[in-house]
Amino acid sequence: IVNKSALDFHQLEVEITEELLVQDENKTSEIIKELQLLGVSVALDDFGTGYSSLAYLSRFEFNKIKIDRSLVLNLNSIKGQELFSVVVQLGKVANAKIIVEGVETDDELHFISLLGVRYVQGFYYYKPMPLEEIVAQKLIEA
């Protein structure tokens, strides 16, 4: 598909969930390596939601790790903050860029920023909207 388009492999990112990883680890590992050799970024999506996410950090090389919103929801407690901090540290040990999904409040963004995380996604910035609305709000040029 990429060869037939104007896209460069470096413009692509493939997000992999734990569900895919458990199907055939050897084949998945080969595919991840092949994609990365082509310049495609590979992200582990929904990190922190599966029972064996931690094991995958030692078995696979990911360019990015996307921390799931479910961990952000617990930032209002000390225990939740400590667990979140550990997950961020795991991402750093894996030498991957860390992206936090589902950031919605100033407090969440502030705490996440204090941990040195530079990339976030979520309704804090904007909620999903149709292209027409994006253009109307002048978020992009038509």
Nearest to 92 by CA among 124, 113, 64: 64
Q: What is the pLDDT along the chain (142 residues), one digit of tens a residue?
A: 566 667 788 889 999 987 777 788 888 899 999 999 999 999 999 898 876 677 888 889 999 999 999 999 999 999 999 999 999 999 999 999 999 999 999 999 999 999 999 999 999 988 888 888 888 888 777 6
Helix, coil or strand: residue 27: helix
pLDDT value for 119:
97
Element (H, E) at 42: strand 41-47
pLDDT value for 57:
85
pLDDT value for 18:
78
Which domains can be identified in the chain, with CATH numbers? 2-136 (3.20.20.450)
| Per-residue tokens: 115 | 């941990």
Give dist(CA 89, CA 107) in Å, integer. 20
Nearest to 88 by CA among 111, 61, 58, 122: 111
CB–CB of 100/121 below 8 Å?
Answer: yes
pTM, full prediction: 0.84
Helix, coil or strand: residue 46: strand
pLDDT value for 5:
67
pLDDT value for 52:
62
**Dihedral angle of Cα 78, 82, 83, 85, to the nearest 10 degrees:** 140
| Per-residue tokens: 123 | 């309704």
pLDDT value for 118:
96
